[in-house]
Amino acid sequence: MKLSTYLMFDGNCREAFTLYQTVLGGKLTAMMDHRGTPAEAHVSPDWVDKILHACLEIEGQMLMASDAPPDRSDGPMRSVSVSVNVPEIAEAERIFAALSEGATVQMPMAETFWSPRFGMLRDRFGTNWMVGADMPAEQANCG
């Protein structure tokens, strides 16, 4: 079984995923808009260039998304966070700083009892992020 995160944007999925690829790396394996697909007939003309499906593959994991037409959405992400954990503190801080531009920081990057660096934010696209550095193996206790 594989579990993947699927995000719903309100029209800025292309911009968000372009940034996410720059910040997180990986490969955009899909960035398909409605134009020219059977779905084009089911969206308003001003929505045909919005994203029907996007996929960012990072080390065998997938972050997927689309733009949700206003008549089919209760708004962008609600009560969901994408959690990113990396081995190095410097990398966690870099990712957090890059995602912080125009964001609402809910918990600044700091040392916690579970991570040498951890922070939470809602980026300018409405995506909630939890960014952390892995605890060194000699300190980790996953029970």
Q: Tell me the average pLDDT of the chain.
A: 90
Question: Tokens at residue 69, please?
Answer: 């037409």
Is it true that domain 81-133 has CATH number 3.30.720.110?
Answer: yes
Residue 143 is predicted with a pLDDT of 40
Q: Which residue has the tokens 């089919």?
A: 72
How does residue 2 score in pLDDT terms, banded at 50, 70 and 90?
confident
Model confidence band, residue 135 (pLDDT cutoffs 50, 70, 90) = confident
Predicted structure pTM score: 0.83
- Domain extents in the chain: 5-69, 81-133
Percent of the chain with pLDDT over 90: 76
The fold for domain 5-69 equals 2,3-Dihydroxybiphenyl 1,2-Dioxygenase; domain 1 (3.10.180)
52-86 pLDDT tens trace: 999 999 999 999 999 988 777 776 667 688 999 99
What backbone torsions phi and psi does residue 17 show, to the nearest 5 degrees? -70, -30
Q: What is the pLDDT of residues 118-130, one digit of tens each?
A: 999 999 999 999 9
What's the token pair of residue 44? 């308003």
Q: Report in angstroms the alpha-carbon separations of 139 from 8, 62, 134.
A: 37, 29, 10
41 three-state secondary structure? helix
Residue 14, phi then psi, degrees to nearest 5: -60, -45
